[in-house]
Structures are given as C-alpha cells and as structure tokens.
Amino acid sequence: MSSPTPPQPPAKVSSADLYNRLDALAAAIQGVAQQLRLELNPESLYVYKPMKSGKGAALKVDLRLVPTYGETGYVADVKGGLFVELAAQEGEKDGFPTFGWKSEDKLSAKLGIPDVTAILVGLREVRLRGKVVPAGIRSKGDEKGTTVGMFHVFKDETTAIQLQFGADGSFLQISKSKEERRSIKLTLQEEVQLEIYLRFALQRLLQVGVR
C-alpha cells in the first residue's frame, strides 16, 4: 500500500503579482461602488432650448438620494429627492449659449411620488391610449384634458408644475406666482427621455421607502 502524497507547499507569489491582484480587487470594488452610486444618483437629464432672441430656457431633472440606515439594516431616513429646474438663457460664452443654473431667477421644484405618477399617467393616457388627461390630475380650470397639474405649498411658498400636451410635444412649466414662471417646449422625443428618467426615479424612490 502506497503512502499518501505529502502536501505540496503553497506556490510562491511575487510581490508584483500580489500588488496586481490587490489592484484588480480594488478596481472591482470601485466599479461596484460606482454602480451603486448611479442607482440612486444617476446623471442628470438636460434639455436645452436656446433662442436667437436670448429668451430660451433649459431643463434639468436630477435624482439625488442619500439613505441612512438604522441598526436593523433598514432605511431610517432619506435625504435629497427628485428635482426639476428651469433656467433662463443668459448670454453666450465662446459662441455657445449659457443658462442661469446658478442664478436666483432659476425656478425649481421637488417632485414626490404623487407628482411623478401623475406625469406618467398623463403620458400614458395621452400618448399611448390617445385619451385626455384624467380629471383627477388635471390642472385647475383645464376643461379639455390637455394639462397635468401639480400644486405644492411649503410654509409661505407655493409652486405649481404643469405639463401641457400638444400634437407635436408638450410644455413643462414651473411657476411660483403670476410673475415668476418659466416654461420649456419638449419635443415628442424629449418626452420619451423624460418618461424613462421618471420611471427610473420612481423605482428608486420606492426602493428607499420614499412615500
């Protein structure tokens, strides 16, 4: 009966090979971290509409979610949210139009789940089913069923958001008062981009427990 083969000593790993493996592991971890970050903080959606008159506008839709976790591992709180901003065209730089993203005249609104779902329902009913906007989500005074309307009150500030549908696109408007308002025209293709971004945002808002 032959004797058992003695165990072989572990293969020697050079320092260079060890560092290469550690670098590869670090890169893989970084890739996973970046993917997780993009899940809750994707790149913003931009739509630019410059005009020769200088009265153009630009849209930014931005999802930024920062959850904190309790001792049990469940989400305890969520900072951030889904934000919509409309900036006015300001001038030119190097031959390209500029927009007032840092200006006090920029209008912004935070969208909650009721707002996101209202816009998505409006898009579905008007674009997919060929119907009018349902009465429950219409803008005040809209008898034709062409406009989704949302109204926010926070302390002394009010914000109205409207998405008005037309045959070749829609107008997205944010207003703080009769004098302080801004809108942008979206093409049908840009509506699709907005819908995809909002669907992604809705999934992430529900995922972290935003109500």
What percent of the chain has a predicted confidence (pLDDT) above 90?
73
| CA distances, 82 to each of 3, 44, 61, 144 (Å) | 70, 10, 7, 29
- CA dist 173 and 116 (Å) reads 15
pTM of the model: 0.83
Q: Give 29-38 pLDDT, tens digit per residue.
A: 665 555 566 6
- Please, what is the Cα angle at 145 between 139 and 148, to 5 degrees? 40
Q: Which of 37, 30, 72 is nearest to 204 (CA)?
A: 37
Residue located via tokens 């572990």: 10
Domains for the chain: give ranges and CATH numbers: 45-207 (2.30.31.10)
Q: 211: pLDDT confidence band, cut at 50, 70 and 90?
A: confident
**Whether pLDDT at 195 is above 80:** yes
> 54: which 2 tokens?
């200088």
Q: Give 62-112 pLDDT, tens digit per residue.
A: 999 999 988 888 899 999 999 999 999 998 999 899 999 999 999 999 999
> 204: which 2 tokens?
């992430």
Amino acid identity for residue 80 in this structure = G
- Whether the CB-CB separation of 19 and 27 falls below 8 Å is answered with no
